[in-house]
C-alpha cells in the first residue's frame, strides 16, 4: 500500500509507503513494481546507487542529457537529507522551478524524480546513506550539473546560518542555469 503526495513540479511525486511496526521493529516494501505502476510510475529501474555523506555535504544538482536522462527513486537508508528536484523540461508549466523536501530513514518517504529534472541533496543529520534507483545506467558523457546556489533557481537550502556546504570539486565548478540552453 502506497500513498502519494503531489508536488508543485511536473512529474515529481512524494511516495509514502505503509510501514508495519511492532515490538520487534518495523517492515515495509521499499519497492514493488506493480504498486508503483498503480500510482502512475511505470518506470523500469536498471541501476541502484548508494551514497554515504557526512553532515553538511551537498551533492548536486546533477542530471544526464537525453537519450541517457535518468528518472530516479530516492530514499534514505540512514539519517536525514533535504532533497531537491529542478524541472528542466522546456515545455513544462514548472520549467526552471524546484521542489525541496526532507527525506528521512525515520519516515521512509521516497521521492520519484522524472528524467527531465536535475537532482541534489543536502545532509541534515550527522551522516546519511541514500539509495536511489535509476532507469538508465550512468553515462559519463551525458552527465551535467548545475550550481547549487544559482540565484535564478533560488533554492532555499536549509543551511545553518553562515555555513557553506561541503561540495565535490565537480560541483564547485558547475555552471549556472541557462534557460535558453535548456529551451533548445
Residue 32 appears among annotated catalytic residues = no
Residues 130 and 124: their CA atoms lie apart, in Å, by: 12
Do 68 and 143 meet the contact criterion of CB atoms below 8 Å apart? no
Residue 132 appears among annotated catalytic residues = yes
Looking at the DSSP bridge assignments, the partners of residue 76 are 130
Residues 86 and 165: their CA atoms lie apart, in Å, by: 19
Q: How many CB atoms lie within 10 A of CB 115?
A: 20
Which among 119, 100, 116, 93 is positioned nearest to 158, based on CA atoms? 100
| CA dist 61 → 25, 88, 123 (Å) | 35, 11, 14
Give the active site residue among 132, 139, 181, 182.
132
Q: In a 10 Å sphere around its CB, with 0-12 CB exposed, 13-18 middle and 19+ buried, how is residue 150 labelled? A: middle
For 117, phi then psi, to 5°, come to: -120, 145
Query: Would you name the residues annotated as active-site residues?
Result: 62, 132
Amino acid at each position: 500500500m502506497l500513498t502519494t503526495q503531489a508536488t508543485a513540479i511536473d512529474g515529481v511525486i512524494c511516495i509514502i509507503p505503509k510501514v508495519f511496526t511492532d515490538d520487534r521493529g518495523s517492515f515495509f516494501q521499499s519497492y514493488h513494481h506493480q504498486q508503483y505502476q498503480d500510482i502512475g510510475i511505470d518506470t523500469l529501474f536498471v541501476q541502484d546507487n548508494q551514497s554515504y555523506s557526512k553532515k553538511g555535504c551537498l551533492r548536486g544538482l546533477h542530471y544526464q542529457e537525453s537519450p541517457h536522462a535518468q528518472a530516479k527513486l530516492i530514499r534514505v537508508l540512514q539519517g536525514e537529507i533535504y532533497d531537491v528536484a529542478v524541472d528542466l523540461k522546456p515545455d513544462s508549466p514548472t520549467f526552471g522551478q524546484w521542489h525541496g523536501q526532507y527525506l528521512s530513514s525515520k519516515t521512509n518517504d521516497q521521492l520519484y524524480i522524472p528524467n527531465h529534472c536535475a537532482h541534489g541533496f543536502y545532509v541534515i543529520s550527522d551522516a546519511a546513506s541514500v539509495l536511489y534507483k535509476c532507469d538508465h545506467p550512468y553515462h559519463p558523457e551525458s552527465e551535467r550539473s548545475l550550481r547549487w546556489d544559482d540565484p535564478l533557481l533560488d533554492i532555499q537550502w536549509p543551511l545553518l546560518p553562515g555555513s557553506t556546504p561541503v561540495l565535490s570539486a565537480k560541483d564547485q565548478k558547475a555552471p549556472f542555469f541557462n534557460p535558453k540552453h535548456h529551451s533548445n
